[in-house]
Amino acid sequence: MKLLTTNFIKCSVKACDSNMTSFPLRYDNQCELELNYEDDESIIEKSYQFLVGILDKIDWDALLKVCADLGNNDLPPNKPLLTQDSLLSLNDNERLILKQLFNLLINTEIVNGSMKCDSCEHVYLIKNGIPNLLLPPHLS
Amino acid sequence: MSRPEEIAPPELFYNDKESKKYTENSRVQYIQYVMTKRSLELLNLKESSFILDIGCGSCLSGEIISSASEEVNAGMNHYWTGLDISPDMLEQALIRKEEEKFNNDDDSNSDDESNGEIGGLRNGDMMLHDIGQGIPFRAGSFDAAISISAIQWLFNKDNNNHDPIKRIKRFFESLYSALTKNGKFVAQFYPANDDQIDTFLQIAKQTGFSGGLVIDNPESKKNKKYYLVLSCGTMSSNDANDSDNLNLSGASMDVSNIHDKKELKKKRGNGMLESKKSFILRKKELMKKRGREVRGESKYTGRKRRDRF
Ligand SMILES: C[S@@+](CC[C@H](N)C(=O)[O-])C[C@H]1O[C@@H](n2cnc3c(N)ncnc32)[C@H](O)[C@@H]1O
Ligand SMILES: [Zn+2]
């Protein structure tokens, strides 16, 4: 599961819909991660448009929290500012930000581990990169 | 021949054997390709988007959604998340993903189908989930949702706790919320009867979606295909070319209309598609190149690596 997904996935229990603590889920600090670092800008460029679009949707505080769960406290406290217009003339710093976002959101995967809802306490397992969101009968 | 939906619940029908058979069948691959491409055309996206694939199975549809080929996506590079209830279908997706990686690593001669460096299954994520329990993503997550050959399963009552209507409502309501303000949803499905079409359209409308139904090849018994074409925003049908709108050729939310839509033109679509024969040949070539022996080796299991983060 890409780190990107942790910024959107929430508890599937209906009763948790209205509970703010059901997002983001809490990630076990033993989660096994895999990073396929991409350095080639000509490849990353192909995802610039997507990255800028998704950055607009990213809940930065949730991202900070999940990264901290997983042992990374190095993210800047505020969301970087980039728009589709900035893509027309990028400076070096902006290219670097896009590269880091690409590697963080898309190339970092949680391969095995678990995530937990703070509202209902249900624990969802992640195996081979696939989280199991199926609910036991008493929660569905 | 009976419908798969009548044989067993989806996670049992798509067991190990059936999932493998389904995924490797080149006729299935071709049909799913045509319908996914058509759904993308109906979605009419103008920018690289974040897309939900509902009932993604082994990601035959997903692979097309993020295809880097010019002919499918006109230069856009979409990312997607897939949901499916069958672990065996998802297992097939993992195998295909490994094959893709293997193929790309091995890619010294880059004369194969598309750009090996971007797009494809690497743009996707999968989760094991029952969509009748709702779409578990926060508000405004996806620009669009696609579903190919899956949502008719929602009419199943596979256990005593299943209330299909309740599940369909939960599905549409949570999907509506998971989409952005102008989000769109296109679903190709196989209705068992007109009532099922009615039910989907009515519940979608109650939920707040606008849009309707598109029927391709209405005269053909075999190739007649149904697409729900929905939008979260409001739209007027004469704005069909507006960038925010769906490509609504012949859609109708009014159920009574759909049964006499005979005049619906045969879609120009098919002419633009690759022929079935060339599609299959290309796939076969690719399979050979990928080397079937990666199968079963399960590179993705038992990897015990924790990268620095
Ligand atoms: C015919 S396959 C299509 C798969 C894929 N979209 C494609 O184009 O190849 C239908 C899929 O719907 C899935 N499905 C059926 N009911 C479901 C449910 N309630 N929740 C999630 N997936 C479901 C099945 O497991 C199966 O993989
Ligand atoms: Zn919960």
Q: Is residue B10 part of a domain?
A: yes
Q: Is residue B137 part of a domain?
A: yes
Please state, in angstroms and rounded to a whole number, the distance separating the CA atoms of residues B228 and B218: 15
Q: Output the six-digit token pair for A21.
A: 């603590």
- Whether pLDDT at B249 is above 60: no
Q: Based on the domain organization, do B66 and B128 belong to the same domain?
A: yes
Cβ contacts from A onto B, under 8 A: 115
Q: Is residue B237 part of a domain?
A: no
Q: Based on the domain organization, do B40 and B185 belong to the same domain?
A: yes
Band of the pLDDT at B295, cuts 50, 70, 90?
A: very low
Exposure of B147 in the CB half-sphere (CA atoms within 13 A): 25
ipTM of this complex prediction, to 2 decimal places: 0.97
Please state, in angstroms and rounded to a whole number, the distance separating the CA atoms of residues B283 and B62: 16
Does B211 sit in the ligand 1 pocket, CB within 6 Å? no
Domain boundary among B211, B232, B253: B232
B26 to each of B61, B282, B288, how far by Cα in Å? 13, 11, 14
- A130 with A9: CB under 8 angstroms? no
Q: Is residue B265 part of a domain?
A: no
Q: Is residue B32 part of a domain?
A: yes
DSSP letters of A13-53? -GGGTT-GGGSSPEEPTT-EEEE-----HHHHGGGHHHHHH
Q: Is residue B141 part of a domain?
A: yes
Whichever domain contains B43, its CATH number is: 3.40.50.150
Residue A131 contacts B, CB cutoff 8 Å:
yes
Query: What is the Cα B207 distance to its own chain's centre?
Result: 21
- A66 with A9: CB under 8 angstroms? no
Residues A15-46 as b or e (16 or more Cβ within 10 Å = b)? ebbeeeebbbbbbbeebbbbbeeeeeeeebbb
Domain boundaries defined on chain A: 3-12+22-132
Q: How far is the CA of B214 from the centre of ligand 1 (A)?
A: 21
Number of domains present in the structure of chain B: 2
Residues in A closer than 8 angstroms to B75, CB to CB, are: none
Q: Based on the domain organization, do B175 and B77 belong to the same domain?
A: yes
Domain ranges, residue B294: 274-308
pLDDT tens-digit series, residues A105-129: 999 999 999 999 999 999 999 999 9
Band of the pLDDT at B285, cuts 50, 70, 90?
A: low
Band of the pLDDT at B181, cuts 50, 70, 90?
A: very high
Q: Based on the domain organization, do B297 and B195 belong to the same domain?
A: no
Q: Is residue B259 part of a domain?
A: no
| Fold of the A3-12+22-132 domain | N-terminal domain of TfIIb (2.20.25)
Low-confidence ranges of chain A (pLDDT < 70): none
To the nearest whole angstrom, how far is the Cα of A28 from the nearest Cα of chain B?
Answer: 13
pLDDT at residue B69 in the model: 86
* Minimum mean pLDDT range among B8-12, B257-261, B278-282: B257-261
Q: Which residue of A has its CA nearest to B161?
A: A137
- B203 with B163: CB under 8 angstroms? no
Residues in B closer than 8 angstroms to A104, CB to CB, are: none
Please state, in angstroms and rounded to a whole number, the distance separating the CA atoms of residues B258 and B214: 9
- Whether pLDDT at B108 is above 60: no
Q: Is residue B240 part of a domain?
A: no
What is the spatial order of strands in the sheet that B124-128 belongs to? Answer: B124-128, B79-84, B50-54, B142-148, B179-189, B225-231, B210-216
pLDDT at residue B102 in the model: 87
Q: Based on the domain organization, do B32 and B179 belong to the same domain?
A: yes
